[in-house]
Chain A
Amino acid sequence: MAREMTGAEMVIAALKDQGVDVIFGYPGGAVLPIYDVLYDHQHAIHHVLVRHEQGAAHAAEGYARSSGRPGVMLVTSGPGATNSVTGLTDALMDSVPVVCITGQVPTHLIGSDAFQECDTVGITRHCTKHNYLVRSVDDLPRILHEAFYVARHGRPGPVVIDIPKDVQFARGSYFGPKNAEHKTYRPQLVGDPEKIEQAVSMMAAAKRPIFYTGGGVINAGPQASRLLRELVAATGFPITSTLMGLGAYPASGENWLGMLGMHGTFEANNAMHDCDLMIALGARFDDRITGRLDQFSPGSEKIHVDIDPSSINKNVKIDLGIVGDCTHVIGALLERWRARGCEADAGALKKWWAQIGKWRARKSLSYRRSDKVIKPQRAVERLYAATKGRDCYITTEVGQHQMWAAQHYHFEAPNRWITSGGLGTMGFGLPAAIGVQMAHPNALVVDIAGEGSILMNIQELSTAAQYRLPVKVFILNNEYLGMVRQWQELLHGGRYSQSYSAALPDFVKLAKAFGAHGISCSDPADLDAAIAEMIETPGTVLFDCRIDKTENCLPMIPSGKAHNEMILPDDADLEAEIDALGKALV
């Protein structure tokens, strides 16, 4: 069923065959043939013209993470490709399926330092799951379909297809995505049955078990979250999650301990430290999670389920590693648990929950209330209260506001929380929100931002305006690069080197300039009304929420410390908590 067409036409045909209806991009000389074909297909493929290619990448990520479908971006050669690198790296770190099509100078000019030439596959080799330079139009259909296959299967990730301009003009035979798997790339989806049995036995014997779940559960699809909930209910075990995994288990669920890690709850981190069985599902033992490695959960046996074999035993020694997709493995664990009539050790579990209750009683997320100044935690709490029960998606930038959002906004479902975890990319939230809104036109999409981060991709307000996207940007403005300021307070004796935002724009006027609605609020008494105004105003809203300037994000596991050595909000001397070794860490 091959059809004769140009390379540029193949790109559009392949996007359609892959079910792509939205792409994010920016035109330029080396992709003009593709844009020319796109001109005739604007109703089938909705192109969102971003204002910077980094924005296209984050928008594609937001689209992918909120919808479960791959995000697609189209950019030109040279600067178009290099501007995409941060977003591609972000997608690689957080395992987001993104297909990035880049234009390239014509084949005969490659290597000649031509105008807007760069070694795109060379530059992106380290920040993509895989990439291709298409040397012949005959390879193009296969590569296009293979790229989608690779981006989606196994541990998802970004894939770059670099297409020289002459290949876009050349004619060849196009074929559809049938049998377009990679010839050898076959990730293992189903866990080893023997290991599943062993895991179930370990779970039945556990006295102080804990589920530690991550972004892998979300990436595996909504069915994995449903099965996880059943498994938690069937076992009665407590559950905590990484930043990336929030929403897989509902925050209102009885067994929920809150997020773990550097800014996780006291109960989650202590339970991780004291457990005798840790069941890690789609999480990767990142350094934000483990804290000091040689004191990480010293008395536990560890089961690790991951689709990426290299995640197992990478940072932490695992007792039972199961390679597989979370949907399959959680499903198998649940099925075997039930089929074998397993029951948790009720007496031991009761004691364990009693201990967890004591940790919970410390109320580690509490903070000093104020009626004079808006506390950032309060702002997130009120935003949560105002949006609870609505069809709502939250994106964030990176820093203190991100952690406050993770702590005080509560997620009931997967794919609702879109944040830059692995790479920690400031400027992520606004373009990501644009991507989310394109995937969910009728949903309420809020970017919880900081005044530092938002300025890193503020130009995307123009994109939001152009497509009338009603994204809400909720800026927790403390006039500081807050997390930097906090670390300088903790580690550098309060020498606030370059962390004060000295020349901030008037965000209300800025909103107006971009055709958006601006709101400013600094009085706690006005907060609820202002949040309601933000939600009810149609169109893009920029909310400048002026918060307490020096609030620290707590609780916190200081660098170089273990899970049971947290700083709680009522602890006084922060700096004394961190030793020399800790200061050298990030």
Chain B
Amino acid sequence: MNAPAAPLSPYSSAIGKSNVETHTLSVLVDNEPGVLARVVGLFSGRGYNIESLTVAEVAHTEQLSRITIVTSGPPEAIEQIGHQLERLVPIHAVTDLTLRGNAVERELAMIKVAGTGASRDEALRLAEAFRARVIDTTIESFVFELTGAASKIDQFVELMRPIGLVEVSRTGIAAMSRGKDPI
């Protein structure tokens, strides 16, 4: 999914090569069949980049889901992504949380680490420092659960690698604006 940020159009060199930025978009959608396919298809069809995507129902009675997408590209492309998303009929609202600033972003990861002896102790010590919880254990392995900013999870995974990292499962980013108002 991490294809290089695609240009806006074959002629986009004329728009100016601006810096690639990473933005988090919060998209409220009708929870109907095919809505995720529409969103994902829009990104692939127009050559936009998806770095992370999460989706789940957030209001059962209204049948609303929230899709949180982390995307990257020049600012013009990101503005265009927002508008293109808004064109989709089942989409209620698109908010660029990065543009608004001051959003909280969290991700959950499960990290499986195998090892015995000193490396096992080291894994536990580091997990404590990161406030990772042990959610499964055998004599020669742990599964840690860690919640936090994506960068924190990246860091933890890197530390586990030499100790005996087996595999990682990450949810992708969920995000919300700070303060009392809704997105």
Binding site for B on A (CB under 8 A): 121-122, 125-126, 129-131, 133, 135, 150, 155, 182-185, 287, 290, 292-294, 296, 308-310, 312-315, 317, 585
Q: Are A133 and B33 in contact, with the CB atoms below 8 A?
A: yes
If A294-B14, A308-B87 touch, does A315 touch B9 (CB 8 Å cutoff)?
yes
- Smallest CB gap from A149: residue in B: B89
In the bound complex, residues from chain A placing their C-beta under 8 Å from that of B38 are 125
Interface residues of B, count at CB 8 A: 26
Chain B residues closer than 8 Å to A121, beta-carbon distance = 34
Contact partner of B84 among A150, A185, A310, A317, CB < 8 A?
A: A310
What CA separation (Å) do A39 and B30 show in the bound complex? 37
CA distance A122 to B14 in the complex (A): 34
Top 6 A-B residue pairs of the complex, sorted by shortest distance between their CB atoms: A293-B14, A310-B83, A294-B14, A130-B89, A293-B11, A309-B83
| Nearest CB in chain B to that of A311: its residue | B83
Query: What are 11 A-B interface contacts by the 8 Å CB criterion?
Result: A125-B37, A125-B38, A130-B90, A131-B34, A133-B34, A155-B87, A182-B89, A183-B30, A310-B80, A310-B84, A317-B15
Q: Which residues from A are CB-within-8-Å of B80?
A: 310, 313-314
Interface residue? B117 (CB, 8 A): no
Q: Chain A at the B interface: mostly helix, strand, loop or mixed?
A: loop
The reply to whether A314 and B8 form a contact with Cβ atoms under 8 Å apart is yes
User: In the complex, what residues of A have CB within 8 A of residue B87's CB?
Assistant: 155, 308-310
**Known pairs A287-B11, A293-B15; A184 contacts B30 (CB<8 A):** yes
Decide if A310 touches B86 in the complex (CB within 8 Å): yes
Q: CB distance B83 to A150 under 8 Å?
A: no
Q: Does B138 contact A (CB under 8 A)?
A: no
In the complex, chain A residues whose CB is within 8 Å of the CB of B79: 313
How long is the Cα–Cα vector from A293 to B83 in the complex, in angstroms? 21
Which chain A residue has the least Cβ–Cβ distance from B93? A184
Residue on A nearest B88 in the bound complex, by CB: A130
The answer on a CB contact under 8 Å between A126 and B41 is yes
* B1-40, CB < 8 A from A: 8-15, 30, 33-34, 37-38
Q: Is the C-beta of B45 less than 8 angstroms from some C-beta in chain A?
A: yes
The proximity string for B residues 69-107 relative to A, scoring 1 for CB distances below 8 Å and 0 otherwise, is 000000010011001101111101000000000000000
Q: With a CB–CB cut-off of 8 A, which chain B residues contact A185?
A: 89
Chain B, 166-179, contact with A by CB distance < 8 Å: what is the 0/1 string? Answer: 00000000000000
Rounded to whole angstroms, the CA-CA distance of A1 and B37 in the bound complex is 36
- Chain A residues near B14 (CB-CB < 8 A): 292-294, 296
Q: Is the CB of A125 within 8 A of B11?
A: no
**CA A309 – CA B10 in complex, angstroms?**
20
Bound-state Cα–Cα, A182 to B90, Å: 9
* Cα(A460)–Cα(B76), bound, Å: 45
**A125 and B41 within 8 A (CB):** yes
Please report the C-alpha to C-alpha distance between residue A317 and residue B41 in the assembled complex, in whole angstroms.
26
Residues on B with C-beta less than 8 A from A135 are 33
What separation, in Å, do the CA atoms of A317 and B92 have in the docked complex? 26
List A contacts of B90 (CB < 8 A). 130, 184
Q: Is the CB of A129 within 8 A of B33?
A: no
Q: Is the Cβ of B89 less than 8 Å from the Cβ of A150?
A: yes
Residue with the greatest number of chain A CB neighbours at <10 A, chosen from B13, B80, B86, B89: B89
**Given known contacts A150-B89, A310-B86, A315 and B41 CB-to-CB distance under 8 angstroms:** no
What separation, in Å, do the CA atoms of A150 and B88 have in the docked complex? 11
Measured CB to CB, the closest approach of chain A to B48, in angstroms, equals 12
- A290→B41 CA distance, assembly (Å): 28
Chain B residues, CB < 8 A from A182 = 89
A146 to chain B: closest residue by CB: B89
Q: How far is the CB of B95 from chain A (nearest CB, A)?
A: 15
**Would B89 and A313 count as touching, CB distance under 8 A?**
no
**CB-based contact A184/B76 at 8 Å:** no
Chain B residues with CB below 8 A from A290, complex form:
11
Q: Other CB < 8 Å A-B pairs besides A182-B89, A310-B83, 17 of them? A: A125-B34, A126-B41, A130-B89, A130-B90, A133-B33, A183-B30, A184-B30, A287-B10, A287-B11, A294-B14, A309-B86, A310-B86, A312-B83, A314-B80, A315-B9, A315-B11, A585-B10
The interface residues of chain A lying within 8 Å CB-to-CB of B84 are: 310
Chain B 148-177 per-residue mask, 1 if CB under 8 angstroms from chain A, else 0: 000000000000000000000000000000
Please give the distance in Å from B181's CB to the nearest CB on chain A. Answer: 20
Query: What chain B residues lie within 8 Å of A184 (beta carbons)?
Result: 30, 90, 92
- With CB as the reference atom, state the residue of chain B lying closest to A185: B89
A129–B89 touching, CB < 8 Å: yes
Q: Which residue of A lies closest to B76 (CB)?
A: A313
Closest Cβ of chain A to B94, distance in Å, is: 11
CA distance A294 to B13 in the complex (A): 8
B46 CB → nearest A CB, Å? 10
A185 and B89 alpha carbons, distance in the complex (Å): 6
Q: For residue A312, which residue of chain B has the nearest CB?
A: B83
Q: How far is the CB of A449 from chain B (nearest CB, A)?
A: 30
Taking the closest CB of chain B, its distance from the CB of A122, in whole angstroms, is 7
Distance of A313 Cα from B12 Cα, bound (Å)? 12
**In the docked arrangement, what's the CA distance between A585 and B15, Å?**
17
Which chain B residues in 119-164 approach chain A with CB under 8 Å?
A: none
**B residues less than 8 Å from A314 (CB atoms):** 8-9, 80, 83
Measured between beta carbons, the chain A residues less than 8 angstroms from B88 are: 130
Chain A nearest CB, measured from B87 CB (Å): 6
